[in-house]
Amino acid sequence: MALLGHVGTLTHRRIVGWAWDPDAPDVSLWVLIGITGRTLGRCRAIQFREDLAVEGIGTGWHGFTLDLPATLLSPRQGYEISVRRDGDGAHLPGSPYVLEPAIRVVREP
């Protein structure tokens, strides 16, 4: 099945995007967000996004947000974040996404 979507916000504390299956245009998808071998969370793509409605992408109710606990991902480390459809594991286009470290430690010589 086709899967369309995008992650527009990717930080160590929040992941925001949208996911839509044009073969099932009225279905709100469940997405799994994870790093290698570990699921960070599961959420339903059921938030309204005006940009999707204007573009004719389903009903526009295909946005998702996953807020992460402050201690889950270290801001000193980078990660490869996968966003997949729950059920068949199909990746959102562009997944896995690269999350760069937010804080860099510079050691003085």
Percentage of residues in the chain having pLDDT higher than 70: 97
Contact indicator for 17, 7 with CB cutoff of 8 Å: yes
Percentage of residues in the chain having pLDDT higher than 90: 71
**Model pLDDT, residue 80:** 94
Distance CA 95, CA 15 (A): 13
For the stretch 42-89, pLDDT in tens is 999 999 999 999 999 999 999 999 999 988 998 999 999 999 999 899
Q: Which residues contact 77 (CB under 8 A, 6 or more apart)?
A: 101
Domain ranges of the chain: 4-94
Name the CATH topology of 4-94.
Immunoglobulin-like (2.60.40)
Q: What pTM does this model have?
A: 0.88
Half-sphere exposure of 106 (CA within 13 A, CB side): 1
**Model pLDDT, residue 37:** 80
